[in-house]
A and B are shown apart, each in its own frame.
Chain A
Amino acid sequence: MSETQVAQKSTTLFGKKERRLLTDPFNDNNPITVQVLGICSALAVTVAVKNALVMAVAVTLVTGFSNLIISLLRNTIPNRVRMIVQLVVIASLVSIVEMVLHAFQYDVYKQMSVYIGLIITNCILMGRLEAFAMANKPWQSLLDGIGNGVGYGAILIAVAFFRELFGKGSVFGFRVLPDWYVPNGLMLIPAAAIFLIGIIIWIQRSRNTKLVDIS
C-alpha cells in the first residue's frame, strides 16, 4: 500500500522538482556557461538569428527525445556498450532532423552543412544522457532534455542576435540599424562568438556569485 502512495507522489506531472528541471538550465545550470557543454556547434551557427533558431529547435528536439529513449532503455543497456547504444540513438535522431531540414529548409541546411551532423557530438547530449537519463525516470528525463535544449538555445540566440546586429546591421535578415552604420566584419568571424560567450559568462557570474570559480 505504501509503495503505491510513493509511486503516486512521484508521478505528479508538474511538481516543484519537475519545474526546477525546466528552469535550472536557464541560469544556475546553463549547459553552455556553467556546464561548458556543446560549445562546438554554438559558434558556427550564430552568424544569423535564423540559423541559431533552427539549431536551437533541432537540439531541443534531439535532447528531449534521446533523454526519453535512453531513460526508457536504461535498465536493459549493458554498461560496457552503453556509449555505443547512446550514440546510435542520438545519431538516428540527428539523421531524422537532417533529412527534415534537407526537405523543408534547404537554404538553412546548406549554410549549416556539417554542423547539423555535429549535433551528434554535441556534448550536451552525451552529458545529459550520462548525468541524468541513465539514472532517472522517462518523464523527468524528457523535461531535463527539453530544459537543457532551451537553455542552450537561449544563449545561442542571444549570441546570434548581437553578432547579426553588429556584423550585418540586421535581425532575422531585416536591416534595423540606420544606413550610416558600417557593419563590423569582426563580429562575423567565429572568434567574436567566443568573446561574446566569455562576456555572457562574466555578466552571469558577477550577478550570481555562487558560480564563481575560486581556483
Chain B
Amino acid sequence: MEYINIFIKASFVENMVLSFFLGMCSFLAISKKVKTAVGLGAAVVFVLTMTVPINWLISNYLLSENGIFHTDLTFLKLIIYIAVIAAMVQLVEMVVERFSPALYSALGIFLPLITVNCSILGGALFMDSREYELGEAAVFGFGSGFGFFLAIVAIAAIREKLRYSNIPAPLRGLGIAFIITGLMGLAFMSFIGIKL
C-alpha cells in the first residue's frame, strides 16, 4: 500500500514536469509530435527507474559515514550522481543499439539528451532529501518517470491539434507552448489536495 501511495504521489500529485517544472527543456523541445514524445517518455521512464535506486545504493553505502569508507563524502554527491546518470545513459544507449536497432533509430538523438534532463538529477536529489528506503526509491523513480511520460505525451497531443488553430504569429510555436504548459500546471494543482 505504501508503494502505491508513493507511485501515485510521484506521478500525479508531485508530477516532475507540471508541479516542479523540472525537465522543461526537453519537454518543450521534443513535444511537437506524439510519436517522438512517446519515445522520449519511455526512455526517461527507464533511466529514472534505474538511476534512482543505483544512486540510493551509492549514497548509502559509499558516500555516507556508515558506508565502506567510514568518512563523510557527501560533498562528492553531485559529481557522482551525474557521472552515474551519464554512465547509465551511455549503457542504455549501447544495450538498445545492440539488441533493438529499430528502437535505437527511433529514439535517435533523444537518448544522449536524457543525461541533461533536469528531472533525472532532480529525481536523485529529491530521493536524497526525502530519505526513502531502497524499495521506496525504486518506486519513486518509476512513478516520476511515468509522470513525465504522461505529461510529455499530453502536451504533444495538444500541440499537434494547435497547428490548426489561429494563433497570433509572434505567439506561435514556443510562446503558446509555454502558456499551455502553465495551464496544464494549474490543472495539475488540483491534485494537491489529495492526501494519501
Binding site for B on A (CB under 8 A): 33, 36-41, 43-44, 83-84, 87-88, 90-92, 94-95, 98-99, 113-114, 117-118, 120-123, 126, 189-195, 197-199, 201-206, 209, 212-215
Residue ID in chain B nearest A209 by CB atoms: B170
Subset of 14 A-B contacts with CB under 8 Å: A38-B25, A40-B24, A40-B118, A43-B24, A83-B112, A120-B78, A126-B115, A190-B185, A192-B182, A194-B179, A198-B175, A198-B182, A201-B175, A205-B170
Q: Which residue of B lies closest to A91 (CB)?
A: B79
Q: Establish whether residues A98 and B78, one from each chain, have CB atoms under 8 Å apart when the complex forms.
A: yes
State whether A95 touches B28 (Cβ < 8 A).
Answer: no
Nearest CB to that of B173 among chain A residues? A213
> How near does chain B come to A56, taking the closest CB pair, in angstroms?
17
Whether A114 and B172, one on each chain, are in contact in the complex, defined by CB atoms closer than 8 angstroms, is no
* Given A37-B25, A83-B86, A91-B78: A194 and B175 interface contact (C-beta under 8 Å): no
Residues of B within 8 A of A94 (CB): 78
Taken together as a complex, chains A and B put the C-alpha atoms of A5 and B175 apart, in Å, by 46
* B: interface residue count bin: 35 or more
Q: Told that A98-B78, A194-B178 touch, could you supply 4 new A-B pairs with CB distance under 8 A?
A: A43-B24, A83-B112, A118-B122, A195-B179
* B5-13, B15-23, B141-149 - interface stretch: B15-23
Tell me the bound Cα distance from A190 to B22 in angstroms: 11
Number of A-B pairs, beta carbon distance below 8 Å? 142
CB neighbours (8 Å) of A88 from chain B are: 79, 82-83
Contact A118 B118 (CB under 8 A): yes
Query: How far apart are the CA atoms of A114 and B119 in the complex, in Å?
Result: 11
Q: B185 and A194: CB pair below 8 A?
A: yes
Contact of B29 (CB < 8 Å), options: A36, A43, A192: A36
Query: Once bound together, how far apart are the Cα atoms of A88 and B76, in whole Å?
Result: 11
- Contact between chains at A212 and B172 (CB < 8 Å): yes
Whether B182 and A201, one on each chain, are in contact in the complex, defined by CB atoms closer than 8 angstroms, is: no
- Chain B residues lying within 8 Å of A193, measured Cβ to Cβ, are 21
Lowest 8 A-B CB distances belong to which pairs? Answer: A213-B173, A198-B178, A205-B170, A194-B182, A40-B118, A191-B185, A206-B170, A39-B24
User: Contacts A40-B21, A88-B83, A95-B78 known; A117 to B173 CB distance under 8 Å?
Assistant: no
List of B residues within 8 angstroms of A84 by Cβ: 83, 86-87, 90
Q: A122-B118, A123-B25 are in contact. Are A95 and B79 (CB under 8 A)?
A: yes
